[in-house]
């Protein structure tokens, strides 16, 4: 995209975003707010907010863009990056695989089938739990603090914190994640204690943000690890490359292939109804719409990204 | 078996048991003592002991028959019976299935495949954990005490106790069982807390006995729930019928079919190398030989039971 | 069972069988006639017939006992026996396993999971197809003739023939069995050509009988391989033992465990709604009731056998 | 890439390609030629050839670039496109899914797990067989002719033909594919007869090409469906987008994720040791190196593409 083209896109974006959000918002009625964590179940079902940020930090905001929510699975992208920075590729990929797969009801089954008993990839729950155990730090507290510092740095927002109600709610109800973690422990994938690893995992899932924070974090990935606003490298390019590849092939649960075909951008969604995506080289995008389709992605959010990708021909292919 | 036939069998048993134990004992070298629980790994690999008890309480003892060991999976037969006595068939079979299946490395996989997410049967680990949660009692302590009382009653031995070292060893290392239990919890199979259920489960697995205790317990099953020595009904016949059916179809892990074909008696084995079996209407049998084959059953023990079944034509078919 | 006891049982059987058949017949409305083979779909849904034969050949007949039907999966018991007589245990159990398991929608999945790629046991479809390939004979025709001769001998009925309409109907629609057979071929389990093996398999499934034929065949198994009427050994006892063990642990599809617990006799069912069972040492039993429950067994037939087992305390445990 | 940049790349490519091919060729010794089809087993194990073609049709050739081989799984990309052109997206995606997954020993298992029984995606064998049945045509002959015409058009080579020896060899030995096809038939995925569908499938797998043909075909995809040499649209852009998305997420069997991370280009490999890939907007690339790694991809070929991607920063992320 040349400069003039960016100008045109930006203008058109700002002119139409409200109407696109409005038309997408009608799709909230097709979905349901995640109910498995009590705290998430309280989110309003009918909202949709988005922030698109360009490389100078200008934002295009629409809908309920100041609604606050927790990162949930979106955090997995950044803990993967931090684990890579802490351990290097070889260590990380001795604990998780590289192959795309959906993450659904039968993910334990998949854990049992893949040789040699490690999770398929770092974005499914089992993989992300393994990644949580790899974050450097003598104690759980240190690990959590390092994660929080790293996320604040990427988001350029020192006020990011963990939503303690969500954290507590997740810890209390996560039988399935606990089952996965003990399974990993039994297979020798986790060096730390299960309770400690899960505390780290639930902590980063419970970091609270808004759409602008998401867009800011995405912007750094869109620019291959350099923050274009502060003009500062925050992540080695190779690790962004790894993260974006996983986002493209398996960032949207069991609808990753469909999203890749219809939107065509690296993205990661969370059960809070949030999606982080980007136009490589250009924009960071964050959105939230808590009503989820049966694959676990924001119904309105996926619809809105479909419009944007179509309208501006953003698909990578 | 008429009286004279019993006399003849008993005479021949006593005449040959030492030689049969001796020849079976050579098979201990083909197996390995269970190593996954540190306390079990200390058992001597080359021993074999057996007790056969007739309906008047006479015993035919041979080999290392006074070696003490923990019940492990053999306890599952009696907790199933207690759960049936506490809850009735309908409640029990709403939490576990009735269908035979092996229990091996891929048991979680099977848990995920069977509808509607309940364990296949009460003798696989997942099923036995579900059964532990069904034992009546306001607290874990009460549950454990009731189990211990029941086992003492069946064994007619008030001195049975839990081996605390084995209990502790199991609790500390049972990542896989913990994973299974949280999976069951997630599927709504367990009404109690996972930690509590596992405490009950590890407690009954850790009850310590010798071959004579096993034979005594088996004798009650051989007589359909009536203790023929004290001439007292201890278990409703229907629940013994249920227990024996499961023992016949899936009491010997993934070698249950092979054992049914070659020995043809209801039996249950444990990773301590113990086997409880019986000649219905006649004898209770308990044996121990800690060296296990790769299916998890005592190598020498299975061999010895093969000889006995052949010699006396004990197979049910 | 002593002589007097037999007399009493036989008398009571004849006195009540009509009423038991009548009350069981009402359960036909809970089931559905198998529809996957067009020829089977034509069977009347509301009938129930039974024949019980004692060791002198006396028969207790009730209901639609002269209805003719095809053996379907019941034939697997006798081809297993013939394959054992032709090849011995070692060869047979190098091609099929010994472990009980249900046979259902996910049987291919199970084929892929069991090591080293052989069917779990000879009574699931995959196992029975493997067994069909083991019947001695230079050509498919010879194999089929030998099977037919053997079945005629066991049933003491030289007029048994293959129902060509059913045979053709099965051959034309058996995509799933063809898929299984090619999978077995790919795994090196079948030495013969897939089309030939399936021709043998569909042929023995299509042998037509009535309840009396079934009872006559069962009688030989009830007497451990000796025909008590002609006083002639037809099958080595060991092979009957093997067959009865499999019938007890996995003869009733995914309801084998339930049937073992509630009826407690070795049995084999077929999708024609037929069941062959026996009271070991005494009676051969054949019945037919085409309406099947969702596990694939005759609804009315299972009900009737439950009454009989209860009434005469026939359960083996 | 601007014009000057292309000039520089092209110059450097031509200057170094021989040395890169030479260093990659040493990796042929780490792999093995596919042996499951006799005809493929005859390919020389130690060769490596490549053709890179720019948008004006200039070629950079190196190694054994005139070796002839069959398309095998690479053909799946173009039959998918033809099926989309014949039927539209809705029909095609009612028969195959959109989600990435590896394709390996357990692909039948996966077929059984995904609801509602359709293959995960069009690039695994089961999916490609389903796609073969969707190619328009009254008869198998017509279908095969239409495929051949389409492939000739894309390759701009009217002399492409089916290698009849390979076709025959595949047809005779494909027990697994036959098993898959009957499984699909049983699930209602195939409207045509299994034998006919497989004839079409084996035919397009057996189309013979060289590296230049592959590069020419890739060039059309690199330019979104327009042949840049003849300046003619051959494929609607949307269908190229779909094909490239699948190539990126699952074109390299169970190493698709690893390849995406290390090379970062849409690609498809075949068991003949061939790989078709492209630099979007610029080059079409075809290579062949018959020695395969254990994931089924050309060892030397994957190595060579790694060098090129690194050297010229071709990764999409």
Chain B residues with CB inside 8 Å of A182's CB? 175-176, 178-179, 182
Among B205, B222, B246, where does a domain finish?
B205
Regarding whether D259 and D177 lie in a shared domain, the answer is no
Ranges under pLDDT 70 in chain D: 1-2, 102-116
Dihedral sign (CA B162, B168, B173, B177) = positive
Q: What is the pLDDT of residue A101?
A: 75
Task: Respond yes or no: is residue A182 known to be catalytic.
Answer: no
Q: What is the pLDDT of residue B118?
A: 85
Q: What are the E-state strand segments in chain D?
A: 32-33, 49-53, 59-63, 69-70, 208-209, 226-227, 232-233, 267-269, 274-279, 283-288, 291-292
Q: How close D139 comes to chain C (CA, Å)? A: 21
Regarding whether D119 and D179 lie in a shared domain, the answer is yes
d(CA A280, CA A304): 18
Tell me, what CATH number does C118's domain have?
A: 1.10.1500.10
Chain B residues with CB inside 8 Å of C101's CB? 100-102
Does D201 appear as a known binding residue? yes
Are the CB atoms for A254 and A303 separated by under 8 Å? Answer: no
| Number of neighbours of residue B136 by Cβ within 10 angstroms | 12
Does D226 appear as a known binding residue? no
Q: Contact B180/A179, CB-based, under 8 Å?
A: yes
Q: What is the pLDDT of residue C108?
A: 61
Share of chain B above pLDDT 90, in %: 85
Q: What is the pLDDT of residue D114?
A: 52
Q: What is the pLDDT of residue C216?
A: 98
Regarding whether A127 and A105 lie in a shared domain, the answer is yes
Identify the CA nearest to A183 among candidates A108, A103, A99. A108
Out of D55, D73, D169, D298, pick the active-site residue: D73
Regarding whether B150 and B66 lie in a shared domain, the answer is no
Regarding whether B128 and B37 lie in a shared domain, the answer is no
Residue B317 lies in a domain: no
Regarding whether B198 and B90 lie in a shared domain, the answer is yes
Give, in order, the Cα–Cα distances in Å from A276 to each of A123, A247, A270: 14, 10, 9
Task: Respond yes or no: is residue B182 known to be catalytic.
Answer: no
Banded model confidence at residue B38, pLDDT cuts 50, 70, 90: confident
The residue assigned the tokens 């707010």 is A33
- Of the candidates A105, A106, A175, the beta carbon closest to that of B182 is on A175
Element (H, E) at C286: strand C283-288
Regarding whether D162 and D78 lie in a shared domain, the answer is yes
Rg (C-alpha) for chain A, rounded Å, is: 18
Out of A21, A24, A33, A76, pick the active-site residue: A76
Three-state secondary structure call for residue B29: helix
User: Domain span at residue A120?
Assistant: 73-205
Could you please report the per-residue DSSP string of A3-58? HHHHHHHHHHHHHHHHHHHHHHHGGGGGSEE--SSHHHHTS-TT--EEEEE-TT--
- Which DSSP state fits C134? T
Task: Respond yes or no: is residue A73 known to be catalytic.
Answer: yes
Q: What is the pLDDT of residue A66?
A: 95
Model confidence over A242-273: pLDDT tens digits? 999 999 999 999 899 999 999 999 999 999 99
Ranges under pLDDT 50 in chain A: 105-106, 115
Model confidence over D259-307: pLDDT tens digits? 999 999 999 999 999 999 999 999 999 999 999 999 999 999 999 999 9
Tens of pLDDT along chain C (317 residues)?
Answer: 677 888 999 999 999 999 999 999 999 999 999 987 888 899 999 999 999 999 999 999 999 999 999 999 999 999 999 999 999 999 999 999 998 876 554 456 556 555 557 888 999 899 999 999 999 999 999 999 999 999 999 999 999 999 999 999 998 888 989 998 998 998 899 999 999 999 999 999 999 999 999 999 999 999 999 999 999 999 999 999 999 999 999 999 989 999 999 999 999 999 999 999 999 999 999 999 999 999 999 999 999 999 999 999 999 99
Residue A290 lies in a domain: yes
Regarding whether D197 and D226 lie in a shared domain, the answer is no
Out of D220, D271, D279, D288, pick the active-site residue: D271
Tell me, what CATH number does C46's domain have?
A: 3.40.710.10
Neighbour-count burial for D44-58, b at 16+ CB within 10 Å, e otherwise: ebebbbbbbbbbeee
Residue A139 lies in a domain: yes
Model confidence over B168-191: pLDDT tens digits? 999 988 898 999 899 899 989 999
- Of the candidates A108, A178, A194, the beta carbon closest to that of B112 is on A108
Summary mean pLDDT of chain D: 93
Q: Contact B317/C266, CB-based, under 8 Å?
A: yes
Q: What is the pLDDT of residue B106?
A: 45
Beta bridge partners of A287: A50, A275
Regarding whether B239 and B301 lie in a shared domain, the answer is yes
Residue C317 lies in a domain: no
Residue B247 lies in a domain: yes
Does D171 appear as a known binding residue? no
Chain D residues 73-112 with CB within 8 Å of chain A: 97-102, 106, 109
Regarding whether D229 and D142 lie in a shared domain, the answer is no
Task: Show the tokens assigned to A37.
Answer: 């964590």
Among B205, B239, B261, where does a domain finish?
B205
Chain C residues 220-249 with CB within 8 Å of chain B: 240-242, 244-246, 248-249
Model confidence over A14-68: pLDDT tens digits? 999 999 999 999 999 999 999 878 888 999 999 999 999 999 999 999 999 999 9
- Of the candidates A105, A178, A183, the beta carbon closest to that of B108 is on A183
Rg (C-alpha) for chain C, rounded Å, is: 18
* Residue in chain C nearest D185 by alpha carbon: C175
d(CA C60, CA C205): 26
Three-state secondary structure call for residue B290: coil
Q: What is the pLDDT of residue C111?
A: 60
Among C153, C172, C205, where does a domain finish?
C205
Regarding whether D306 and D264 lie in a shared domain, the answer is yes
Residue D159 lies in a domain: yes
Residue A153 lies in a domain: yes
The total number of structural domains that make up chain A:
2
Regarding whether C220 and C251 lie in a shared domain, the answer is yes
Residue B306 contacts C where some CB pair is shorter than 8 Å: no
Q: How close C90 comes to chain B (CA, Å)? A: 13
Task: Show the tokens assigned to C146.
Answer: 């030998």
Residue A178 lies in a domain: yes
């Amino acid at each position: 995209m040349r400069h003039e083209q960016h100008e045109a896109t930006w203008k058109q974006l700002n002119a139409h975003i409200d109407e696109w959000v409005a038309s997408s918002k009608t799709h909230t009625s097709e979905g349901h707010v995640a109910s498995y964590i009590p705290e998430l179940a309280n989110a309003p079902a009918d909202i949709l907010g988005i922030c698109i940020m360009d490389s100078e930090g200008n934002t295009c905001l629409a809908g309920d863009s100041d609604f606050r929510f927790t990162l949930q699975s979106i955090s997995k992208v950044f803990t993967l990056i931090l684990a890579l920075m802490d351990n290097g590729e070889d260590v990380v990929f001795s604990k998780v695989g590289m192959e795309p797969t959906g993450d659904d009801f039968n993910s334990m089954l998949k854990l049992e089938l893949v040789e040699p008993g490690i999770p398929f990839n770092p974005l499914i729950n089992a993989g992300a739990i393994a990644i949580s155990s790899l974050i450097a730090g003598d104690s759980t507290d240190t690990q959590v603090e390092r994660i929080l510092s790293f996320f604040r740095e990427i988001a350029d927002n020192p006020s990011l914190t963990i939503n303690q109600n969500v954290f507590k709610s997740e810890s209390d109800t996560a039988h399935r994640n606990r089952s996965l973690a003990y399974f990993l422990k039994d297979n020798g994938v986790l060096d730390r204690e299960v309770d400690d690893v899960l505390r780290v995992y639930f902590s980063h899932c419970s970091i609270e943000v808004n759409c602008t924070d998401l867009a800011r974090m995405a912007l750094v990935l869109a620019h291959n690890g350099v923050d274009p606003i502060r003009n500062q490298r925050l992540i080695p390019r190779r690790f962004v490359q790894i993260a974006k590849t996983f986002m493209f092939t398996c960032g949207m649960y069991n609808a990753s292939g469909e999203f890749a075909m219809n939107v065509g951008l690296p993205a990661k969604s969370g059960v809070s109804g949030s999606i982080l995506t980007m136009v490589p080289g250009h924009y960071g995008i964050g959105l939230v719409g808590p009503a989820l389709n049966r694959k676990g992605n924001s119904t309105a959010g996926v619809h809105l990204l479909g419009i944007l990708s179509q309208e501006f021909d953003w698909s990578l292919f």
